[in-house]
Chains A and B, each alone.
Chain A
Amino acid sequence: MNGIHDMGGMQDMGPVQYEKAEPVFHAAWEGRIFAINSSLRASGKWNLDAWRYQIELLDPVDYLRLTYYERWLEINEQLLVKHGLVTAEELATGTPAAGSTKAVPATRISGAGRGIPSSHDPTVPARFAVGQPVRARNSNPIGHTRLPRYARGRAGTIERDHGVYTFPDTNAHYEGEHRQHVYSVRFSARELWGEQASPRDSVYLDMWDEYLERA
Chain B
Amino acid sequence: MAHDHHHDHQAVPSDPALRVKALESLLVEKGLVDPAALDLLVDTFEHRVGPRNGARLVARAWVDPAYKERLLADAPAAIAELGFTSGQGEHMLVVENDSKVHNLVVCTLCSCYPWPVLGLPPVWYKSAAYRSRAVIDPRGVLREFGTEVGEDVEVRVWDSTAELRYIVLPERPAGTENLSEDELAALVTRDAMVGVSRVPAPGEKA
Residue ranges of A at the interface with B (Cβ–Cβ < 8 Å): 5-11, 13-19, 22, 24-29, 31-36, 38-40, 43, 52, 55, 64-70, 73, 76-77, 80, 85-86, 90-91, 94-96, 100, 102-107, 109-116, 119, 146-148, 150, 162-163, 165, 182, 184, 189, 192-193, 197-198, 200-208
* Contact present for B32 and A85 (CB under 8 Å): yes
* Contact present for B108 and A6 (CB under 8 Å): yes
Name 21 interchain pairs, CB-CB below 8 A, sorted by A.
Answer: A8-B135, A9-B108, A17-B8, A18-B145, A29-B16, A31-B45, A32-B20, A34-B45, A67-B12, A73-B19, A80-B27, A105-B32, A106-B33, A106-B34, A111-B87, A150-B108, A150-B136, A163-B91, A204-B157, A206-B162, A208-B162
Residue ranges of B at the interface with A (Cβ–Cβ < 8 Å): 2, 7-8, 10-12, 16-17, 19-34, 36-42, 45-46, 50, 87-91, 106, 108-111, 119-120, 122-124, 126-139, 141, 144-145, 151-164
| Nearest CB on B from A84, distance (A) | 12
* Contact present for A111 and B137 (CB under 8 Å): no
A146 to B126, CA, bound (A): 17
Partner of B20, one of A33, A80, A208: A33
- Which residue in chain A gives the minimum CB-CB distance to B28? A105
Given contacts A96-B30, A113-B88, contact A148 B108 (CB under 8 A): yes
A196 to B135, CA, bound (A): 13
A103 to B151, CA, bound (A): 59
Partner of A147, one of B29, B33, B161: B161
* Contact present for B132 and A10 (CB under 8 Å): yes
* Contact present for B32 and A106 (CB under 8 Å): yes
| Nearest CB on B from A57, distance (A) | 13
| Nearest CB on A from B47, distance (A) | 9
Given contacts A8-B131, A35-B38, A119-B91, contact A202 B156 (CB under 8 A): yes
Given contacts A17-B8, A148-B161, contact A106 B132 (CB under 8 A): no
Q: Specify which of A17, A66, A73, A86 lies most central, judged by the most chain B CB atoms within 10 Å of its CB.
A: A17
Contacts of B158 in A (CB 8 A): 203-204
| Nearest CB on B from A92, distance (A) | 9
Given contacts A39-B33, A200-B154, A206-B161, contact A17 B38 (CB under 8 A): no
Given contacts A8-B159, A107-B34, contact A19 B40 (CB under 8 A): no
Partner of B30, one of A11, A100, A150: A100
Contacts of B123 in A (CB 8 A): 17, 19, 22, 26, 67-68
Given contacts A105-B37, A106-B33, contact A205 B20 (CB under 8 A): no
Contacts of A31 in B (CB 8 A): 42, 45-46
| Nearest CB on B from A148, distance (A) | 6
Partner of A39, one of B34, B134, B135: B34
* Contact present for A193 and B136 (CB under 8 Å): yes
* Contact present for A34 and B164 (CB under 8 Å): no
Q: Specify which of B20, B24, B139 lies most central, judged by the most chain A CB atoms within 10 Å of its CB.
A: B20
A182 to B164, CA, bound (A): 10
Partner of B41, one of A38, A68, A96, A103: A38
Contacts of A38 in B (CB 8 A): 41
* Contact present for A36 and B24 (CB under 8 Å): yes
Q: Given contact pairs A39-B41, A200-B155, A206-B163, enumerate 9 new A-B contacts (beta carbons under 8 Å).
A: A7-B132, A13-B127, A13-B132, A16-B145, A35-B39, A73-B20, A80-B27, A115-B89, A182-B163
- Which residue in chain A gives the minimum CB-CB distance to B89? A113
